Amino acid sequence: MWQIPKYKPQMKVPAMIFANQALLDKMQTDRTLWQCGNVAQLPGIYKHAITLPDGHEGYGFPIGGVAATDYTDGVISPGGVGYDINCGVRLLATNITDKDVRPKLSPLTDAIFRNVPSGLGSRRKDLTVSSRDLDTLAVEGVQWLIDQGLGWAEDAKHCEENGHMPNANPDKVSQTAKNRGLTQIGTLGSGNHFLEIQMVDKIFNPKTAKVFGITHEGQVTVMIHCGSRGYGHQVCSDYLRVMEHAVQKYKISLPDRELACAPGSSQEAKDYVEAMACAVNYAFCNRQAIMHWVRQSFQQVYGQDPEKFGLKLVYDVAHNIAKMETHDIGDGVQKKVWVHRKGATRAFPPGHEAVPEDYRSEGQPVLIPGSMGTSSWILVGTQKAMELTFGSTAHGAGRMMSRFAAKRQFWGGDIKSNLEKRGIAVRAASPSVLAEEADPAYKNVDMVAEVSHQLGIATKVARLTPLAVVKG
């Protein structure tokens, strides 16, 4: 734990960095710490501005940033959520082992690559969503898709927010955002989004793992990482412009215009929250549709009902979101706050009412994806997270170098052949996306998980390693 004290008079709270020396050294090569200090200047911020071990420079807030502001006297900042609203991760557990899947790994990866649209401009022609449908799914979330036959009845209960964030209002979403979202539901997208067939490499907490449906090493899992696509990106763009006017209207003093915000009680903030909730629900639906096509792919390749393979949803977590929550802001005082999590995972403890009932004895599953070809992690939320980080922990490895720099340094063909030599099947929409997502472009996810574990803000349950990678 590293503290940046209130060295500027405008800082309302200190900034806290949760990292080991190596991760901190990397943060000091860009604007991460400067941005964290800026977040500490937001009106109504409580306790401290937070940068998690995967932190790196972002828009306004660092990615890997958390801040809690007073529900009425604080502000809401779209930069504290990010452009890819509810970019998140969904994990499925199967009842088969890596030995069972290897003979069929190549055709299964082909089927998933064929069934799940990936890359810019890709879409499924058999999923047509009308404008009215789009507004409905933005309000109802995954239940709407389940009702359309794209999912199982129990899927919703294992999603954060039950796959449905309340107060979504499509009237607050621009027509431009809706037009971008119409054709992108059920698409993986490009960049760091991926779909992996994985296996359980090591179990660290057998009791919790079993409750989550992770029963043995070698067990096959499937991880889906994507967000709200152009729909959420446009919501963010639209409301950053709104917030820039709000800053002037409410005479808010900010160290960086990228932190544009509005008072939580203002109409501008309420409008943004209602639009953001639509994008959150869109992203839940996006991952739900992709999960349905993964199950379908197993059925096509094995010629058997997908239920035979388990393919149960372990959990779906949001990584970019702002929520009204109640937290201890110090000295045992409980307050309603807006928790901004930007590149951060909610990590609620055992007994918390927001944790699914069948997991409540253990705590909330935390899913931390690694970079392509490296491990991913299942952790579990803790009481310590509630005390230190407003119930949050890291969301991934975090970038070491920009996409442009990675493309200059690596060639996609080399990346693909190196992964295949290790027995990992690879399907990608283009070689360039493999180059920009090369493993050395990211921090060591095992180190990030270890820092979270040592701090106690989310502790290790199981480590997953890839068998097949599908990239946009």
Q: Comparing C-alpha atoms, which of 236, 355, 222 is closest to residue 294? A: 222
Which has the minimum average pLDDT: 92-106, 186-200, 323-337, 359-373? 186-200
pLDDT at residue 440, rounded to an integer: 81
Q: Comparing C-alpha atoms, which of 62, 55, 59 is closest to residue 37? A: 62
pLDDT mean across residues, the chain: 95
- For the segment 369-425, what is each residue's pLDDT rounded down to a tens digit? 998 888 999 999 999 999 999 999 999 987 777 878 888 888 888 888 988 999 999
Is residue 395 part of the annotated active site? The answer reads: yes
Beta carbons of 347 and 366 less than 8 angstroms apart:
yes
Distance CA 168, CA 166 (A): 6
Which has the minimum average pLDDT: 149-158, 198-207, 335-344, 424-433? 424-433
pLDDT for 15 beyond 80 = yes
Beta carbons of 261 and 254 less than 8 angstroms apart:
yes
Higher pLDDT, 468 or 118: 468
Q: 119: pLDDT confidence band, cut at 50, 70 and 90?
A: low
Distance CA 112, CA 117 (A): 9
SS3 annotation, 141-155:
CHHHHHHCCCCCCCH
pLDDT at residue 441, rounded to an integer: 80
pLDDT at residue 159, rounded to an integer: 98
Q: What are the tokens at 420?
A: 């295949």
Classify residue 74 by its DSSP letter. S
The catalytic position among 225, 340, 395, 453 is 395
- For the segment 155-189, what is each residue's pLDDT rounded down to a tens digit? 999 999 999 999 999 999 999 999 999 999 999 88
3-state SS assignment for residue 92 = strand
Bridge partners of 41, per DSSP, are: none
Which helix (H) or strand (E) element contains residue 448?
A: helix 445-455
Burial of 30 (0-12, 13-18, 19+ CB in 10 A): middle
- For the segment 18-72, what is each residue's pLDDT rounded down to a tens digit? 999 999 999 999 999 999 999 999 999 999 999 999 999 999 999 999 999 999 9
Q: Percent of the chain at pLDDT above 70?
A: 99
Q: What are the tokens at 145?
A: 């898709």
Order of all β-strands in the sheet with 2-4: 2-4, 15-17, 49-56, 63-70, 334-342, 320-328
What is the secondary structure of 292-316 as a DSSP string?
HHHHHHHHHHH-S-GGGG--EEEEE
